[in-house]
Amino acid sequence: MKDPANPTSRTPEDDRLRRRIGPTIRDVARMANVSIGTVSKALNNNGSLKAETRERVIAVANALGFRPNSLAQSLHRRHSFTVGLISNDSFGRFTMPIAEGLEACLADRQIAVFMCNATDDPERERQHVEQLLGKRVDGMVITARRADRRPGLDGALRGLPVIYVFSQSDDPEAVCLLPDDEGGARMAVEHLIGLGRQRIAHITGPERFEAVRLRRDGYRQALTAAGLAEGEGYYLSGDWSEKWGYDAAARLFAHGREPPDALFCGNDQIARGAADALRERGIAVPEDVAIVGFDNWNVMTEASRPPLTSVDLNLRALGREAGRRLIAMIDGTPMRGVSRLPCTLVIRESCGAKTDTLTGTEDYA
Amino acid sequence: MKDPANPTSRTPEDDRLRRRIGPTIRDVARMANVSIGTVSKALNNNGSLKAETRERVIAVANALGFRPNSLAQSLHRRHSFTVGLISNDSFGRFTMPIAEGLEACLADRQIAVFMCNATDDPERERQHVEQLLGKRVDGMVITARRADRRPGLDGALRGLPVIYVFSQSDDPEAVCLLPDDEGGARMAVEHLIGLGRQRIAHITGPERFEAVRLRRDGYRQALTAAGLAEGEGYYLSGDWSEKWGYDAAARLFAHGREPPDALFCGNDQIARGAADALRERGIAVPEDVAIVGFDNWNVMTEASRPPLTSVDLNLRALGREAGRRLIAMIDGTPMRGVSRLPCTLVIRESCGAKTDTLTGTEDYA
DNA sequence: ATGAAAGCGCTAACAC
DNA sequence: GTGTTAGCGCTTTCAT
């Protein structure tokens, strides 16, 4: 009673047999009156098959709603087409865009991403790694808040491709991808200098963040290159809050001291706090004082008065590039060491230049 | 030459054989001088086995660094111990805590989460669903921005457990989990009334958001229940920005009209904008006007002057509960319909009450 | 060009 | 108690 020309006529028991797993390759073979091997060739478009057969098999498969079991496939193929993403930033503001870029890149290659949150709990991280290895992921991405380096987890990984994004391993061989904080800071300060500013202060976050130290270095490099001196007390390290930006600005513009004509801030919250402080003192931004922030977090840059010029870390691009590199590693390309991707300066009203977007040059460190 | 008492002595060719896949259950069986079946029983702690054998096998497995291939296991077991999370909010501010709660809950049950971003692109979503089905996920979580309901994707899913979190399907049978916006708003306004406020205005977001309509309803219910009237022009719908909060507050406190003595705001950005507007007008918060926000987004609540009392949507709890329910569904418990989880009122300085946290009662709708 | 059959790494039913 | 074996759903030789 089987009618191979009309593959939709599945027998009732077939439906019952598959619990709810759907048809298997066997069912397709039966309905199309070919062998299992032939179906495999047809669907994977390899081997040599008569065009007519191939098409017929594919038609049957579609009619049946056949969906190959990726788990069974992975048992043979070299890859599982999954990777793990382990975050120690509890899916925070920085992890998000990275994950997004990564996912977008990998989805194009049909690779799925396991999202694991370890939040700096080593035991939890160990469990996740264990689980991911059990699931035979093809690679792993580690991301984190960037206070400092972390021990590599290379012990158990026996050569599995691993890439650290927005975080660093203490293993110098490890593949790490980071934004070029130093270059971003340099670009921001050069821009201020190009606008004629001479007395540029830097209000920033806690020095235990490597990013803080790098941005400070970039700031100083730009000053030095332009022959400008760093005013006394012009470098202010505090926490990452608006309040600190507000207080630090107040300090810079207090009593007799000669005030800065520009503020380069370690993040947008600090910048916004500073902008508030200046406004309340009747100091005009950008006319009297130009401000540049860091992170280009639009919740801050756009709510600030005036809207903030800010350095964008290009985290989405960082995630995408991480995906590309991980794929390359999975494909066998050897990689090692730290790379930094350029930042972008997004110009808004707070620095007195025409709205624009400037991208730093790639750093091949 | 095999020494079962010293299982670490693997033969060199064994290492070579496993490409980099690590030892298989076969290797463990060989080294422990037992059958494959016995190893399986020992490791999965089922069947009946002499304690000594069990322990010995486990010791060998550990020594070999054996890690069962979860993919192969899933071929037999009823489940793959993976679920898919499809987000249409591009991993945004609301998706994050939900994902975190979900992941935490599922990780406890050894279930891994595939993160997929569809960002309202139906084609991309279809591809993701396809991929997840191919990977034989045990269930699926759909989350989204909450402008409105979305078509269920139940066609292809043949009974796979699906739960919508922070989003709704147009299928009335679908399992949906949402915060109780109405109850949260009611709680906020009741709190203001309890503090003696009588003229309470509501500045909120765009009405196309169901959340806006629900919060408005809660606001009105609380007023009505207390026998208070809604002042004319006291309900102001705009966008979700600080600027709108600022402008709306300015409008409410303009010219001759009798001003409100409290503002209930649709989100924290609006509330912060309003607080700024009042401060600039010399209106004291909370003395003259109390303010309550919504979302409890600490970036906003804590940077606001004064810090904002705000309704917390308890998104992390929502994610965890979604995990619990999905597990229940996977375990066979039938579920259907929409549930809403209570919000929490987090009291800070902007409303003039003692710092505190109040939780709404569960809504068994 | 197609079919048959040997596994991938594991579980589970059934022998002994 | 432990070993044997038949698969899970698929890919991939190797015959034909």
Please state the rounded mean pLDDT for residues B274-301. 96
Residue B188 has a pLDDT of 98
Cross-chain residue pair B67–A92, CB shorter than 8 Å: no
Let me know whether B31 and B85 are in one domain. Answer: no
Residues B337 and B349 in one domain: no
Which residues of chain A (64-83) touch nucleic strand D at CB < 7 A?
Answer: 66-69, 72-73, 75-77
pTM for this model (two decimals): 0.90
Q: Residue A52: which CATH number?
A: 1.10.260.40
Residue A3 domain-assigned? no
Please list every residue in chain A whose beta carbon sits closer than 8 Å to the beta carbon of residue B241. Answer: 302-303
User: Do B304 and B187 fall into the same domain?
Assistant: yes
Instruction: State which residues form the domain around A297.
Output: 181-312+345-359
How sure is the predictor about B38, in pLDDT bands with cuts at 50, 70 and 90? Answer: very high
State whether B186 and B172 are in the same domain: no
At residue A156, the pLDDT reads 60
Nearest-CA distance A205 → chain B (Å): 16
pLDDT surpassing 70 at residue B12: no
Tell me the three-class secondary structure of chain B, residue by residue: CCCCCCCCCCCHHHHHHCCCCCCCHHHHHHHHCCCHHHHHHHHHCCCCCCHHHHHHHHHHHHHHCCCCCHHHHHHHCCCCCEEEEEECCCCCCCHHHHHHHHHHHHHHCCCEEEEEECCCCHHHHHHHHHHHHHCCCCEEEEECCCCCCECCCCHHHCCCCEEEECCCECCCCCEEEEECHHHHHHHHHHHHHHCCCCCEEEEECCCCCHHHHHHHHHHHHHHHHCCCCCCCCCEEECCCCHHHHHHHHHHHCCCCCCCCCEEEECCHHHHHHHHHHHHHCCCCCCCCCEEEEECCCHHHHHHCCCCCEEEECCHHHHHHHHHHHHHHHHCCCCCCEEEEECCEEEECHHHCCCCEEEECCCECC
Which positions in chain A touch B133 (Cβ < 8 Å)?
67
Distance A38 CA to D14 C1' (A): 14
- What is chain B's mean pLDDT, rounded? 89
Structural domain count, chain A: 3
Question: How many other C-beta atoms can be found within 10 angstroms of the C-beta atom of residue B195?
Answer: 15
- Given this model, what pLDDT does residue B28 score? 93
Tell me which residue in B91, B158, B242 faces A303 most closely, judged by beta carbons: B242
- What are the φ and ψ backbone dihedral angles of B53, each rounded to 5 degrees? -60, -50
Cα separation of A240 and A262, whole Å? 19
What's residue A147's pLDDT?
Answer: 56
Q: Give the count of beta carbons closer than 10 Å to the beta carbon of residue B173.
A: 10
Of the partner residues B85, B104, B124, the one whose CB lies closest to the CB of residue A117: B104
- The pairing of strands A290-294 and A262-265 is parallel
B17 at A interface, C-beta within 8 A: no
Mean pLDDT, residues B333-356 taken together: 92
Tell me which nucleotides of strand C come within 7 A of a protein CB: 1-14
pLDDT digit string, tens, across residues B203-250: 999 999 999 999 999 999 999 999 999 999 999 999 999 999 999 999
Shared domain for A299 and A188, answered yes or no, is yes
pLDDT of residue A47: 79
Identify the residue with better confidence: B81 or A158: B81
| Residue A353 shares a structural domain with residue A208 | yes
Q: Answer whether the bond into residue A151 is a cis peptide, omega within 30°.
A: no
pLDDT of residue A92: 80
Which of A66, A82, A91 to mutate to test binding with chain B, by most B CBs within 10 Å of its CB? Answer: A91
Judge if A274 and A202 occupy the same domain.
Answer: yes
Tell me whether B308 touches chain A (CB under 8 Å). Answer: no
Residues of chain A with pLDDT under 70: 1-20, 146-156, 158, 361-365
B 259-298 residues inside an 8 A Cβ radius of A: 269, 273
* Chain A, window 97-156: residues with a beta carbon less than 8 angstroms from a chain B beta carbon: 97, 99-100, 103-104, 107, 110, 112-117, 124, 127-128, 130-136, 156
**CATH label of the domain that carries residue A308:** 3.40.50.2300
Tell me, yes or no, whether A46 and A188 share the same domain. Answer: no
pLDDT band at B121 (very low <50, low <70, confident <90, very high): confident
Residue B5, in any domain of the structure: no
Q: Are residues A140 and A238 in the same domain?
A: no
pLDDT band per the 50, 70, 90 thresholds, residue B8: very low
Q: Is residue A39 part of a domain?
A: yes
Which pLDDT score, from 0 to 100, does residue B147 have?
56
**Residue B204, pLDDT score:** 98
Q: Which residue is nearest to nucleotide D3 (CA to C1')?
A: B35
Q: Is residue A6 part of a domain?
A: no
Inter-chain Cβ pairs, chain A and chain B, closer than 8 A: 128
Rounded CA–C1' distance between B76 and D7, in angstroms:
9
Residues B240 and B97 in one domain: no
Name which of A104, A112, A134 is nearest B135 (Cβ-Cβ).
Answer: A112
Q: Kindly state whether residues A250 and A130 are assigned to the same domain.
A: no
* Interchain pair B112, A107: CB under 8 A: no
* pLDDT single digits (tens) A160-218: 999 999 998 888 889 999 999 999 999 999 999 999 999 999 999 999 999 999 999 99
- What is the pLDDT averaged over residues B136-162? 78
B-proximal residues of A, 171-210, CB under 8 Å? none
Residues B212 and B263 in one domain: yes
Better-scored residue on pLDDT, B40 or B357: B40
The distance (Å) linking the CA of B177 with the C1' of C5 is 50
